[in-house]
Structures are given as structure tokens and as C-alpha cells.
Chains A and B, each alone.
Chain A
């Protein structure tokens, strides 16, 4: 089977159209970033606090907003997390300007105050941990083991773990009857938990808080990582090929990063650590694609000495076209599966790669070679001028 047969498309002759189109998109994207709502930087870079909670029943967003209004911080943003029927909400709050500290604890305290008012000193099965549950069981000793504290903890520890691993799987207990489904729990212990435990309205799925100093650190590190990896590639390709190719590859990659960033800005997706990881993966992928074409150009230049660069480049792009399309296709397939099935946490990661691979494939054909060609011509012209000067 074959998707792309022998082609002879004069790719380089479209270079003016392609470069203009890319410039328009990049400029529009930059304009959107600067004038519009800009990049949605996550708490990893600007600092802030984010708490994800799961509720027993559909949460009342209005009430939650009212609860969070008591925080002495900026306006909290509430949004649904994952599918609506999971009753999961993400609460994001700006931290007080320039302050460091524990900002997740007050949010959780407020939630307890307003959602679990009647609980008091009751044992909340939805927020307490295995250690606490073990202590509760060991101190009441429902099995009547008569063991010392430590030995009793060993006896009841696995039971507490079993209860907690149920919560781990389901996220929250919505009814105490769910305890019946848990094996490894002795009947008296189950009865005791049912008697002593209460179910709070929410369970904590995750909490993140980044103070200003760590945020600033991460921001400079992320910029550094992208900048230095581009530089590293420039040097590598310069050494293995020639300077024009290095510049071509780096310009094409920069092009991909800029367009992907614009796509992130337009869709309002958050930029966090894993987005940066995806951007760096994209840098690697995009250069990889370009290098395969350049490699073919180098090989063909050796075969046809003296031929002009432009037709050689066109030939190389056509010869590798089939590979370019297939590799992009298979990678796109897996990334697509990540995008569709990967879940909320990894969705933006997959989005970056999805956009990046499409743009990256385009740029390694339509941007990298034309730029390399232009630089090559420029250098050749300069050499020519020098030579003439020298003769005079």
C-alpha cells in the first residue's frame, strides 16, 4: 500500500506565499497575546492557589462563591473539573500580593465551615486519612483484641487501608452503606465506623499553591530551557550540516512554538509546567522532522555536485514526503488518542502536541528549507562581493 507515490511538487516556489501566510498568523497571534486577553499563565508561573474538590452531590456554585468570598485574597474563580456528573470543582485563587505561606489550608477550612457545619469533632470519612482511622479503631478496639496500642494499630491498619483504598478508587463516600462493599473489614469494625464516622460533603482531590518566589523561578527556568534547547540544536546542526541549515531549523521551530502559543492564547488554555514540557517535546519533534529533510539534501548534494541548492532541496522534500506524512500521521494518531482519552489533567498537554505536530510538519516543508535557502544565498552573495573586492 502507498499513500503518497512519486511526487515532484515544486515546494520552494511557494515559499513567498507560505512565509507570508505564516507571518500573518504569527503577527495576528502576537497581537492577540499583547492586545487581547493574552496568555493564560497558570499558578505555576504567576503564583496562586488551586484546590480541586469532589462533592457528594451536585455542588451549588452560588453558595461556593459566597463561601470563598470570605477569603482575604483576590476573587476566586470556580470552574467545573472533568465531566459534570463527577461533581468536581476547581477553585482558583490569587494569593495576597507578594506573600508566601500556606494558602490551601484556609480554603479547606472555609469549605468545612460552610459545608460541614454539623460535623464538629465527628470523624469525617471523606477527608481523614488512614492513620487517623487506624487510631480511631485501635482506641475503641471493636474486635476486642485487648492488644497494646502498637499491636492494635497493626491489627486495624490494614482495615483502615482498605477503607481508604475504596475512597481512592471512587473519590468520595456518598453513603456509609458503601462500607458494606469493602472486604477485609471485620464486622464489628464496620459497625463501629458506621456508628462513629460521618460523611462530609466533599473530598479533597488535589491542592496546589505556588508562592511568588517559586513562580518566578519556574518562569525563568522555563524560558531558559526553551531558549537553550533551541541554541543547542542550532549549534548541533551547524556542526553536522552548515550554518544556513541550522538557522533554517531553528527559525522553523521558533515558528511552531509561536503559533502553538497563539493557539493556547486564543483557546484560553492554561500554561503550566506540563504545557512547557509539551512545548519542549514539540521543539524536539519539529527539529527531528526538519533534520530528516536536511539529511536528504546533504546526501543529494554529495551525489549531484555543482547543482544549485533549490532543485536539490525540492527533490529531497519530495523524496522524504511520504515518510514525513506517515510519521506525522502515526504520531498524530497517538496524540489524538491522548487528547480524547487522556482526561482533563493531560488535555492541554495533548492539545499542544496536536497543534504542534500539524504546524511542525508544515514548517519543516514550507519554512525550514526556504529560510535555509535564503540564508545560503545571502552568504554566497556576501562571499561573492568579498571575492570581487579582493580582486580589485
Chain B
């Protein structure tokens, strides 16, 4: 074998070996897409308006309490979410200069307009953006925590969207999608609140003592448990203090446990600073009820029997799983804003499994037919093309494994399409060789011109297909991207195998012969 051929053979062997090496073992190296393995793909939007509103509410309350500390008694506040501002009534007796000082010292993120008896606090422009951005970041972190604690292997969680307020979540292999969706979605904002009145069966009887309207520092919450499995356990109304004693932010840990009757409960520990606060409160309110409010719903309203400091329990007629999930979301922390699902794609593992079996069956059937045809039509040259085709598939899978590309259902279709189109380059070459032989060229020169003439065509034809594949990739969401990737890699692989590999095979077949008499084509 002459040196030139030897180099070509070595290169081909090296490339194929590299492909096999990156591919082996296939069950570990080829990443299956969600549509084949089963799993959940979710796109959700963080309702950042919630965070903006919470910040405004919080600031309004803070203003009242800071001013009160300086002896300034302000009137009621009003939050205007649309205008990103809140207003406060300033009674005539309040010292304007002192209030200005408070505004300057404590509310630097606001632009304050002092108009007589009504002062308006409006967000400075970039503050709002920061709050929204922070809300998404915190949401991302919280969801990451929850998914991590639930135990999903290789989750993908990332921020996307023009506004940056969308989060894409991909959880492969999840077999109980409804449960995971609930865990991700629950805001999990836990508050412990002082009960001022209640429980009562309806709103009017609850507020009978307050002339039908809740007082300024109180709010009405209901105790309908729509819980995690949605069963209603009666409805009761409570009037609670607006400000919380402690919130879920101050939990150190939470876990599922059982009470003396075997019912599932959630047990929690508090961080030290909260433990002091909680101890002071419960110590001075023995005998009064306290509401445990989760996402605006009263879970339970136990009567305080003794001073509680660093730990406590939440009861709520939970099933084992509900208690488990509640403990999980409490540990992982609350979402800073509610979320809304924009897109959901769940593929049950059995559907994916079915798709794989059928896809592979279709691929193998198609390939066998094409190979048989090539063998019959081009005889030994057809064999050459078939070897090139096999090499092509090894390269394609190897490259996919190397780049960590995901094999999706359209991706399998892409592989099958590649099989059909990969022989195209060989067909172009063989037809050209036949033409050259027909005009009376020798076998060697027919092969030479056949390959060189066909090469230009193959290049042009494949580059145009590549353009389509690139736009497909650009467009790509999940499965489609997988198709674009397989198609693009397939194009490169088929140019290499059809042109380089099959040329080399001709060289090997004809080496040592001075004059090649006939070509099996």
C-alpha cells in the first residue's frame, strides 16, 4: 500500500476510533431528550408585580412605624401599584421638617413629593427594575432549591424571555408531574399572626363588632383548606393582625413528623433571633389563639398553651405526602412573587419508551432497504457506499455524544433522514463515474474525475441544506433543536464519509494493480 493511502487509512481509523471512544458505552453517553426519556418541560413567568406591590406595602408600613418612633402620627396610607407609588396623609400638626428628614434617611429609593396634607412616595426609575430583577433571581434560586431537595437528577433551570421574567425548567425522568408542579408553584409564604376575632362561619358575623369593616391594622383571612390534594374541609373566617409575629423566612428547618394520633404534621425550628421574638409573644399571650397562615390560607389556629421558643408544629390534616411537600417548600424558602405557568410539556415515560422502540424500528428498516438497494444497483461500489453509510452513522452518534447533544424524537427522524440523504453524495459520485466510463475513460481516471467533479456539487448541495438546518437551530425549542443538531452533524459526516472514506476504499481496492480492468458499479 503506498504512503498516501496509508495516511488516509490511519486518519479514517483515528476519526472512527475517536467517535467510538466518545460514544462508548452508548447507554451512558447519548443523552435522551425529554420526549424520549419522559419528563417535564415547564416555562413559567414570575409575577414581578407581586414583588413590587409587596415592596410598596412594606415601605408604607415602615414609614408609619418609623415616623411613630419619632413621635409623628401619620394618617392612613394608600398604595398605587400602577403609578409605582404610595401616598400618606400628613395631618397638619405633624412637623414637616422632621418628616422630610425621615424620608431622606430611610426612604432614599423614593422620590418624595410634598403636597400639603398628602405626601407621595414614588420609586426612583431604576429601583423598580432592581426589585423585579431580584424577584426573578430569588425565584430561580428558590425553585432550584426545591427541585434539588425533591431529588431530580440533572434538572435544567434557567432564566429566559425578553423581559427576563421567565424561567425554563426541564426535569427529566419525573414520573409524577402533578406533584412536582405543585411543589414548584406553591408560594409557600408562611406567617404566624395574632387572631383578633374568629373563627366565624361568615364575614358579616366575624365583623359584627367592627361595624362590618376590618380595622386599619387587621385583615380577614379564611381557613378553607384547598391544600395540595384540593379537598375542602369547611370554611371559617378569621380577623387577624396585618403584621406577622414571625414569617417563614425565620425558619431554620422544617420536616415531616407525626403527632400522638399518627397524623402527619410539619415540625419546624426557628433561627435564634426569631425564637426570642416568638418566645416573648407566646409567653405573653397564653390562652389566646394564633393563626398559622400559608399563602393567605389559615392552616390552623391553635390556642397558645405555653411559651414556645425555638420550635413548633403545624397541623392541618395532612397526608404523609402533603406534609412531606410542605416541609420541603418551607425549607427551600418562599417565592418572592407568585408564578404562572405559560407552557407545560409532560411526556410520560411510557410514551417516550414507545417512541424510541418505534423510531429505532423505522430507522433500521429504512436503512436495511436502502443498503439492499445500493448493493443491487451499484454492486461492489454499493458495498463501498454501505460501509461509508455505517461509518457515517458512527460519526454522527459519536459527534452527538461528544458535543453532549440531546437525542430527541425529531432527532431520531433527523438520523433516519440523514441515512436517506447520506447515500446521495455516493449516488452523485457513482453516477458521475458511470458517465465518465461511458465516454470511454479508463477506470482510474473515471474515478478521479467522478470524485472531483461531484465534489463541487456535493459541497454546494450540502451547504444549502446546512443553511436550513442553522435556521432550524435558531428557531429551536427543545426537540426541534435536537433535529437541527443531528441534521447539521449528519451533513458534515456524510461529506467526510462519502467523499473521503469511499475514495480511500477505492484506492485500497485498486492498489497494487497497474491497470484496473473493470469496476463493479
Contacts and interface: CB of A to CB of B under 8 A. Distances in A.
Interface stretch (B52-60, B203-211, B298-306, B316-324): B316-324
Interface string B157-189: 000000000000000001111110100010000
Contacts of A213: 342
B83 interface: no
Given A168-B353, A345-B409, A281 B177 contact: no
Given A128-B176, A236-B467, A208 B460 contact: no
A333 B369 contact: yes
A121 interface: yes
Given A100-B340, A338-B413, A207 B366 contact: no
Most buried by A among B359, B463, B469, B472: B472
A388 interface: no
Contacts of B435: 319
Contact of A327 (B342, B378, B423): B423
Interface stretch (B88-96, B106-114, B307-315, B344-352): B344-352
Contacts of A278: 413
Interface string B372-396: 0110111100000000000000000
Interface string A231-250: 01100110010000000010
Given A109-B230, A323-B428, A337-B366, A132 B176 contact: yes
A240 B377 CA distance: 33
Most buried by A among B343, B354, B378, B474: B343
A211 B341 contact: yes
Majority DSSP secondary structure for residues of A touching B:
helix
Contact of A295 (B43, B179, B457): B457
Contacts of A288: 421, 424, 461-462, 464-465
Contacts of A168: 38, 175, 349-350, 353
Interface in B450-497: 453, 456-457, 460-472, 474-475, 477, 479-480, 483-484, 487
B102 interface: no
Report the contact-size class of chain A (Cβ under 8 Å from the partner). 35 or more
Interface in B217-257: 230
Interface string B356-372: 00110111011101100
Majority DSSP secondary structure for residues of B touching A:
helix
A263 interface: no
Contacts of A135: 320-321, 324
Contacts of B99: none
A112 to B, nearest CB: 9
A203 interface: yes
Interface of B: 35, 38, 43, 45, 150-151, 174-179, 181, 185, 230, 319-321, 324, 340-351, 353-355, 358-359, 361-363, 365-367, 369-370, 373-374, 376-379, 409-410, 413-414, 416-417, 419-421, 423-424, 427-428, 431, 435, 453, 456-457, 460-472, 474-475, 477, 479-480, 483-484, 487
25 contacts: A1-B377, A1-B378, A52-B348, A129-B174, A139-B320, A171-B351, A207-B177, A208-B345, A228-B474, A229-B472, A240-B460, A277-B410, A281-B414, A284-B467, A295-B457, A299-B453, A299-B456, A322-B431, A326-B431, A331-B424, A334-B370, A335-B417, A342-B358, A346-B358, A349-B410
